[in-house]
Structure 1
């Protein structure tokens, strides 16, 4: 546990490369170089959020690594439901929302084995906006980000960390059964609604049909063509 780090993922990668065992966890009260998907920064101020990373050494193919991220999303949603009266939603693939505001981002980074074709290790990073930071969120994300709680509660960041870890390790132990999938599917935002599928600068209107058991996004385009899209290939936005 650290008061401040550059990034919990970066710190844990160093541990992983030194041979740390699965289950090593780094938690920090602040990140100076917090990162999100697609190279974006992740706002990680002091004393308002929970920033943690979990080291995993799974026996799985690289193509199945999305299960780590989606199981983590379920773990966070269950944790929030346990400690609050909130009902979180999941925006495909792994952002957690409450009342239309993003309260959690998840970034899984992996090291691959050239010999086995599988994962050498994976670092699961989770950032949770427990409270609104002093002075509010920066203008760039003020209309997007939100906190779980608007008033401080005793020992809450510790409680959330414990709940997330317990939930995730339980689901991780049963990955082969896809035990997290029903919980993931029922919390998925925008099923049946119009979205935009975004690849680079190209934006394609579609209807979101859901996600399959491999957590691929299932969409139908305006010409009737359907597609299953893997994690990391696209972004989506409600039309």
Structure 2
């Protein structure tokens, strides 16, 4: 604890917020729940998108049209707008998951669908059919391993978007509740004292930026690894 809006100094490298709480300590703890919520949302969006992409790419023309049409309808709605609408009725974390699934799963579906259609008539898939394997076994043993690098890279993108949605909702007041240490909530709470202690706002903003950059670099690394593997 320190004086309200105390400037950075010994014992408080980022100073204090409006209640005299150490900003450095809160920054260290503030990303845990936000990143966990974003990870859950990204995994849910990826799972739904991969399942839909497999069904659209492997199924018949009717399944393809229905699933891609539904994906196009969801993509027509901005994910942040959807998150704000959902956040009015459900807790912020559920809103993050719902918005990420509705906004990210259609993109994943289209990516996986195109990849599945590209390997559907590959030699190893035809060989599996010749051996008499069932469609489910062919999808799990032959098709999924062929697109796993693409799915991993796409999962990273969903995670980046989920972090952005979670941060936006938190900044607008639909995220964590006080006095929870949360980066987005810290930005909202410390705005009134930015002139007295700019570090109280700069520190959580920098933490969000570093996490987003790290996730983006991970996506690029996964994409490069997938390209070398092919």
TM-score by length of 2: 0.25
Q: Which has the higher contact order (CA 8 A, sep 6+)?
A: 2
TM-score by length of 1: 0.25
Q: Relative to total residues, which structure has the larger helix share, 1 or 2?
A: 2
Which structure has the larger Rg over C-alpha atoms? 2
